[in-house]
Chains A and B, each alone.
Chain A
């Protein structure tokens, strides 16, 4: 921070009062940047460094081990691949499902003139509530013994399922719950995007005699592409970090079928005290997210220019 106040003092503007301006900048920005350094910059750099050490909370020694944590991760830990696979399945299923539901929902809500407020409230309600509380409700729905879903199926003489106790169904159950939980966000963003499209385009299309579907295909969807790209990129990033449903509802089970990268990282670092091993996993997650995001930006940008 010392260096920063020095650089501030050498500002190039020499308009009257520039001293008081520089004092304002220095006084205002220093504590903020200091907090940002301690709780963001140092952890980013420190995290990269930490992953190169053997740092176990139970061992007194923390020797430098180079890339050994990464080697363990990729060569000796099959569970890591299970978590990676579960996470990728979650992202690859939940993101399209989310989009397939939220885009038409936003289009429909945008058209609906009656009960507008009531309908929107219903769809937006889950997004403000605590994911933990929501997870408990869905735990009750999906519980194979005494849960609501099986009780309902039984009442109608339909076959029941093991849901979150079934290794094949547990992850799909959590996907359903997650999509239900945050559909509202993307719907709101899509709605804002729809309302941002100037009416002149619609009017021009109508004068040209374009039908409903033609307008949707050739005007609404292309002009919404910026919003769509934004939604896709953000949703992918946030779904890669999924944690709460797994931790609260299944704790990774049954048979690790719902163990995701962040859950495994959390367990390594805070249940087994393997802090550096967990951090190596975090770095891999960061790289995965960065690469996927860059690919998406590239692909989605190519579409805009078209």
Chain B
């Protein structure tokens, strides 16, 4: 393992007092490196398989690098299904949901944090109660509601139920509660309107919480599978995870095609993740929320 020798040379540079623990540190890096390889290798196999022929993928012994690299899989996948449409649908849904959740969470969070009015405690209890109910439990009734208003099989079915996030409201209320009232009072004395205070005083101070909420809402919406599976039938309305699953059912055990489709889904997400990793990690740390 090259990693081990690397670690050792690095250890020499560090203060001699710590040399006692160098074996433990070496083990630490070996363990972490093995783990990291295990985490990465399924992605690696997926991407490499997308350049192999169907025959090469299932052959024994398996190859790591494609022996006869080909773009044929990409030609077949992109020619067979409207990937652009799926990306467009996912972008429309996830962007609308995210913007809406940012607006509704910050507004309701601000109101619950800084305003006293009759019924405010009761309404907040309602928010907390809905926060604690898993979506799986209300899946069937939500389906019936969306069906009743005639929105099944439209992108609105994916957007409307997700526009308000009880978790987002709760998060923003906790965050805004810690903002000093002085800012708000000073703006009021200056004659700023209530909406002006919300937009120009409160919102700018909530940027860290908002960006965490934005990343989570977007990723959650982008990867959501169960609800689109129920709400959408029409291929032209499908979002990416749903389309991928349908593609798999249609081409079961054609790993050359399914892994290519999966690569087309995963690689852009990974690139975005690499660009936003810091914010993403801070977001999880701040909210403890799963995507």
Task: Name A's B-contacting residues (CB within 8 A).
Answer: 4, 7-8, 10-13, 17, 20-25, 28-29, 32-33, 35-36, 38-44, 46-47, 50, 105, 108-109, 111-112, 114-115, 118-134, 136-141, 143, 145-146, 148, 151-152, 154-155, 180, 182-183, 185, 188-189, 191-192, 212, 230, 234, 237-238, 240-241, 243-244, 247-248, 262, 265-266, 269-270, 275, 278-279, 282-283, 285-286, 289
* Beyond A8-B118, A108-B28, 14 extra complex contacts between A and B, CB < 8 Å: A28-B107, A28-B198, A42-B141, A50-B144, A114-B7, A130-B240, A130-B266, A133-B241, A133-B266, A138-B42, A234-B288, A265-B139, A278-B140, A285-B136
Find B164's partner among A36, A111, A115, A138 (CB 8 Å cutoff).
Answer: A36
Could you say which residues of chain A place their CB within 8 Å of the CB of B140?
A: 47, 50, 265, 269, 275, 278-279, 282
24 contacts between A and B (CB under 8 A): A8-B117, A28-B107, A32-B107, A33-B126, A39-B142, A41-B130, A44-B138, A46-B141, A46-B145, A123-B35, A128-B272, A128-B291, A129-B269, A130-B222, A130-B241, A130-B269, A131-B223, A137-B46, A148-B62, A185-B284, A191-B281, A275-B140, A286-B133, A286-B134
Contact B230 A130 (CB under 8 A): no
Q: Does B208 contact A (CB under 8 A)?
A: no
Contact B104 A230 (CB under 8 A): no
- Known contacts A140-B258, A275-B144; A32 and B104 CB within 8 A of each other: yes
Contact B61 A35 (CB under 8 A): no
Q: Does B205 contact A (CB under 8 A)?
A: no
Contact A122 B29 (CB under 8 A): no
**How many angstroms from the CA of A286 to the CA of B194 in the assembled complex?**
40
Q: Does B70 contact A (CB under 8 A)?
A: no
- Known contacts A13-B116, A20-B194, A282-B136; A125 and B270 CB within 8 A of each other: yes
Contact B36 A123 (CB under 8 A): yes
**How many angstroms from the CA of A146 to the CA of B166 in the assembled complex?**
45
Contact B274 A39 (CB under 8 A): no
Tell me the dominant secondary structure on chain A's binding face: helix
Could you say which residues of chain A place their CB within 8 Å of the CB of B241?
A: 130-133
Contact A289 B134 (CB under 8 A): yes
**How many angstroms from the CA of A154 to the CA of B59 in the assembled complex?**
10
Find A243's partner among B25, B115, B226 (CB 8 Å cutoff).
Answer: B226
Contact B117 A286 (CB under 8 A): no
Classify chain B's interface size.
35 or more
The 9 closest A-B pairs by CB, nearest first: A155-B61, A146-B58, A192-B285, A43-B141, A24-B194, A122-B36, A43-B138, A40-B130, A39-B161
Contact B108 A32 (CB under 8 A): yes
Contact A28 B161 (CB under 8 A): no
Contact A108 B31 (CB under 8 A): yes
- Known contacts A21-B115, A130-B244, A241-B134; A120 and B281 CB within 8 A of each other: yes
Q: Does B155 contact A (CB under 8 A)?
A: no
Find A136's partner among B10, B115, B240, B248 (CB 8 Å cutoff).
Answer: B248
- Known contacts A7-B117, A130-B241, A212-B21; A241 and B104 CB within 8 A of each other: no
Task: Name B's A-contacting residues (CB within 8 A).
Answer: 6-7, 10, 21, 24-25, 28-29, 31-33, 35-40, 42-43, 45-46, 49, 57-62, 104, 107-108, 111, 115-119, 123, 126-127, 129-130, 133-134, 136-145, 160-161, 163-164, 166, 169, 188, 193-195, 198, 219, 222-223, 225-226, 229-230, 240-242, 244-245, 248, 253, 255, 258-259, 261-262, 265-266, 269-270, 272-274, 277, 280-281, 284-286, 288, 290-291
Find A146's partner among B169, B226, B255 (CB 8 Å cutoff).
Answer: B255
**How many angstroms from the CA of A188 to the CA of B195 in the assembled complex?**
37
Contact A137 B43 (CB under 8 A): yes
Contact A125 B40 (CB under 8 A): yes
Find A10's partner among B118, B133, B274, B286 (CB 8 Å cutoff).
Answer: B118
Could you say which residues of chain A place their CB within 8 Å of the CB of B7?
A: 114
**How many angstroms from the CA of A285 to the CA of B140 in the assembled complex?**
13
Could you say which residues of chain A place their CB within 8 Å of the CB of B166?
A: 36, 40
Tell me the dominant secondary structure on chain B's binding face: helix
Could you say which residues of chain A place their CB within 8 Å of the CB of B139?
A: 265-266, 269, 282
In the complex formed, the residue of A with least CB distance to B110 is: A28
Could you say which residues of chain B place their CB within 8 Å of the CB of A35?
A: 104, 160, 163-164
Contact A25 B111 (CB under 8 A): yes
**How many angstroms from the CA of A148 to the CA of B134 in the assembled complex?**
36
Could you say which residues of chain B place their CB within 8 Å of the CB of A111?
A: 25, 28
Contact A244 B262 (CB under 8 A): no
Contact A140 B10 (CB under 8 A): no
Contact B194 A189 (CB under 8 A): no
Contact B138 A133 (CB under 8 A): no
Contact B31 A33 (CB under 8 A): no
Could you say which residues of chain B place their CB within 8 Å of the CB of A8?
A: 117-119
In the complex formed, the residue of A with least CB distance to B100 is: A35
Could you say which residues of chain A place their CB within 8 Å of the CB of B261?
A: 136
**How many angstroms from the CA of A45 to the CA of B141 in the assembled complex?**
9
Contact B137 A122 (CB under 8 A): no
Find B285's partner among A25, A39, A139, A191 (CB 8 Å cutoff).
Answer: A191
Could you say which residues of chain B place their CB within 8 Å of the CB of A47?
A: 137-138, 140-141
Instruction: Pick the most buried of A22, A121, A283: most chain B CB atoms within 10 A of its CB.
Output: A121
**How many angstroms from the CA of A183 to the CA of B31 in the assembled complex?**
16
Contact B137 A286 (CB under 8 A): yes
**How many angstroms from the CA of A294 to the CA of B163 in the assembled complex?**
29
Question: Within the complex, what minimum Cβ distance (angstroms) separates B7 from chain A?
Answer: 7
Contact A134 B42 (CB under 8 A): yes
Contact B42 A29 (CB under 8 A): no
